[in-house]
């Protein structure tokens, strides 16, 4: 009787040991897959952050383009006003003012699609 109990206990312990070893082997063999899943998840998160940052940057560039357009148009209006003022007061138009107007007109001619 005692021999049967010891044999049964030994079989149960051996079966438990085999189960633990199989579980450990499964975890060991699955570790590369788990590591790759974690790395892919991290990379996907990083790509998502980069795309979001890029979109925010594009919005900022659009905003800067709009600001540049307003400033350039305003400067051109001021130059035109100054030229008109000089003409109505019969004062000579300075060479710098003529150059600035020509530079802006050339700029607009090159970039007419934008503005």
40 pLDDT above the threshold of 80: yes
Average pLDDT over residues 85-99: 87
42/88 Cα distance (integer angstroms): 69
Q: Which of 28-37, 50-59, 74-83 has the lowest mean pLDDT?
A: 50-59
What confidence tier does 112 reach under pLDDT thresholds 50, 70, 90? Answer: low
> Which pLDDT score, from 0 to 100, does residue 46 have?
94
pTM of the model: 0.46
62/55 Cα distance (integer angstroms): 11
- CB within 8 Å of 55: residues ≥ 6 apart: none
Average pLDDT over residues 11-39: 90
Q: How far is CA 89 from the centre of its chain?
A: 54
- The tens digit of pLDDT for each residue in 42-61 reads 999 999 988 888 877 777 77
């Amino acid at each position: 009787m005692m021999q049967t109990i010891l044999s049964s206990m030994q079989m149960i312990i051996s079966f438990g040991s085999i189960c633990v070893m199989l579980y450990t082997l499964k975890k060991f063999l699955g570790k590369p897959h788990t590591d790759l899943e974690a790395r892919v998840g991290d990379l996907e998160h990083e790509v998502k952050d980069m795309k979001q940052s890029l979109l925010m940057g594009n919005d900022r560039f659009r905003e800067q383009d709009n600001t540049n357009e307003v400033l350039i148009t305003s400067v051109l209006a001021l130059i035109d006003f100054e030229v008109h003022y000089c003409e109505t007061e019969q004062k000579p138009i300075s060479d710098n003012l003529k150059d600035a107007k020509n530079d802006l007109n050339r700029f607009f001619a090159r970039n007419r699609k934008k503005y």
